[in-house]
Amino acid sequence: MFYEKKSCRICGNKGLIPYLDMGNTPLANSLIVRSSEINNEKYFPLVVVYCPTCSLSQLSIVVEPSILYNHYIYHSSISKTFHEHCKQLAEYISSIILKGKIGFCVDIASNDGCLLTKFKNLSHKVLGIEPAKNLAKLSISTGIDTYNDFWNKKTAEKILQSYSHADIITSTNVFAHVDNLHEFLEGINILLSEDGAFIIEVPYMSELIKKNEFDTIYHEHLSYFLIKTLKILFEKHNLKILDIQKLPIHGGTIRVITVKYSNNNLSINKKGIDKFLNEEDNNGMYDIHTYKNLDIYAKKIKSEIFSLITNIKRQNKRISCYGASAKGITLLNYCKINYRMIDYIIDDTPQKQNCFAPGSHIPICSLKKLLESPPDYLLILAWNFAEEIMSKTKFYQNNGGKYIIPIPEVRLYEYSSK
């Protein structure tokens, strides 16, 4: 079901240093469908280790990908903010990278086709690669051509036989989920055309550390990247970084644009890349001591949130949550918050509703529940979408409902206008 990863997946170094142990937790997206499953839940160690050679942080274990992704409950299209993000990404690629040319755009781990829909709207030819059967089926039903498999060399070869080289390959929020990154990039080299571009978006480790986003550490996220690490990895695979952009989505993401070494069509933003590298160095991102502080901050948030919830409960007040996100489920389990303290979690994903959150066993409900049975406090577990969630729950705040936001620090929001 899982194996222990004893060496760095980028550089092979065996001298890895553990710095954060979040205990044994269930898989964040393994929602419980029937209450009878509660007694059979599986728990996995959640430990982060640091490679002093290339500065990669990675989990100490790797859970079998088929367990995590053959059926995937997370639908990226649920959030309006993410739709807007995908639209801007497609427009940026269309105008700056493809320079107005119509291209063949392949998205790896295309989920429900959110990004590809935006490329399609700009008249590009699209193909999704998606390992989850349920998501591949869903995106095909909306008219997005999708190949149902994991990305690897074999998949790249099959796509090349049936289609053509790709002008653009995107992989947003998938790179961190991949164990064998070397084979992943060998696949990119097979499918990417000589003048094409490979664009990734990944959570940025500098932001995770800066904002105490320890809840984004769970079994799906095998690696936590810095530019230094990505540069080493890409250079091993004939890819050069052209540009890097920092984006607010998902608590702090970096977009990295790469091309094959032989491709000189687009200029390199050397100054911009060096700025990232200098900042990482200046912020101590190449020093294990910086990472050890994450454990201290995570414990601080755990104790603050636990005592806040205990105090609220002592006053006989009710608390619910918004967003059965993977990070939210991780936060609840790490902070030892369960169904005795929280009435329910609202999530707009129909597939998550009527399930129970793994570990904490809190029922997941639709937005209707917030109208029918409003709590005194709403803990926003999907804090990365706090603005969007607050704006769609105006009725709750107008009736005196309060919000708790847990990250980067525990904050209470009360609105005086009743």
Among 130, 220, 243, 280, binds ligand DWN (CB under 6 A): 220
Stretch that binds ligand DWN, among 16-24, 229-237, 354-362, 378-386 (CB under 6 A): 378-386
Q: Taking a C-beta distance cutoff of 8 angstroms, is the pair 7, 48 a contact?
A: no
CA distance 44 to 24: 5
Residue 74 makes contact with ligand DWN by CB under 6 A? yes
Task: With H, G, I as helix, E, B as strand and everything else as coil, classify residue 61.
Answer: strand
Residue 382 makes contact with ligand DWN by CB under 6 A? yes
Q: Say how far residue 96 (Cα) sits from the centre of its chain.
A: 25
CA nearest neighbour of 153 among 184, 117, 121, 113: 184
Stretch that binds ligand DWN, among 204-212, 240-248, 258-266, 377-385 (CB under 6 A): 377-385
Q: What is the number of residues in the chain?
A: 418
CA distance 157 to 387: 43
Residue 94 makes contact with ligand DWN by CB under 6 A? no
Q: Taking a C-beta distance cutoff of 8 angstroms, is the pair 364, 305 a contact?
A: no
CA distance 49 to 223: 10
Residue 180: both structure tokens together = 């064998």
Among 70, 392, 408, 415, binds ligand DWN (CB under 6 A): 392
Stretch that binds ligand DWN, among 228-236, 307-315, 317-325, 333-341 (CB under 6 A): 317-325
> Which lies closer to ligand DWN via its Cβ, residue 167 or residue 206?
206
Torsion region of 61: left, alpha or beta (phi above 0 gives left; psi -120 to 50 gives alpha): beta
Stretch that binds ligand DWN, among 123-131, 137-145, 258-266, 342-350 (CB under 6 A): 342-350
Q: Taking a C-beta distance cutoff of 8 angstroms, is the pair 82, 39 a contact?
A: no
Residue 385 makes contact with ligand DWN by CB under 6 A? yes
Q: Which spans in 258-358 are helix H? A: 270-282, 288-314, 326-334
120-150: burial string, b at 16+ Cβ within 10 Å, e else? bebebbbbbbbbbeebbebbbeeebbbbbeb
> Which lies closer to ligand DWN via its Cβ, residue 104 or residue 175?
175
Q: Taking a C-beta distance cutoff of 8 angstroms, is the pair 312, 377 a contact?
A: yes
Among 389, 390, 404, 410, binds ligand DWN (CB under 6 A): 389
Give the shortest CB-68-to-ligand DWN separation in angstroms.
Answer: 9
Among 240, 348, 374, 413, binds ligand DWN (CB under 6 A): 348
Stretch that binds ligand DWN, among 39-47, 51-59, 284-292, 325-333 (CB under 6 A): 325-333
Residue 323 makes contact with ligand DWN by CB under 6 A? yes
State the residue for tokens 């755990």.
302
Residue 325 makes contact with ligand DWN by CB under 6 A? yes
Number of residues forming the site for ligand DWN (CB under 6 A):
21
Residue 252: both structure tokens together = 């702090």
Residue 391: both structure tokens together = 């704006």
Stretch that binds ligand DWN, among 229-237, 269-277, 322-330, 405-413 (CB under 6 A): 322-330
Give the shortest CB-203-to-ligand DWN separation in angstroms.
Answer: 7
Q: What is the DSSP letter of 351?
A: T
> Which lies closer to ligand DWN via its Cβ, residue 343 or residue 388?
388
Among 173, 258, 320, 333, binds ligand DWN (CB under 6 A): 173
Residue 69 makes contact with ligand DWN by CB under 6 A? no
Residue 401: both structure tokens together = 């409902």
Among 326, 342, 355, 405, binds ligand DWN (CB under 6 A): 326
CA distance 208 to 217: 9
β-partners of residue 73 are none
Among 16, 20, 78, 90, binds ligand DWN (CB under 6 A): 78
Stretch that binds ligand DWN, among 74-82, 86-94, 280-288, 332-340 (CB under 6 A): 74-82
Residue 79 makes contact with ligand DWN by CB under 6 A? yes
Stretch 277-316 residues interacting with ligand DWN (CB under 6 A): none
Give the count of beta carbons closer than 10 Å to the beta carbon of residue 361.
Answer: 16
Residue 369 makes contact with ligand DWN by CB under 6 A? no
CA nearest neighbour of 342 among 367, 365, 371, 326: 365
Stretch that binds ligand DWN, among 122-130, 285-293, 297-305, 319-327 (CB under 6 A): 319-327
Q: Taking a C-beta distance cutoff of 8 angstroms, is the pair 313, 375 a contact?
A: no
Give the DSSP H/E element, type plus range, for residue 254.
Answer: strand 253-260
Site string for ligand DWN, 231-250 (x = CB under 6 A): -------------------x
Query: Beta strands of 109-230 (E only): which ranges?
Result: 125-129, 146-147, 166-172, 192-203, 223-224
Which residues form the interface with ligand DWN (CB under 6 A)? 74, 78-79, 173, 220, 250, 323-327, 347-349, 352, 382, 384-385, 388-389, 392
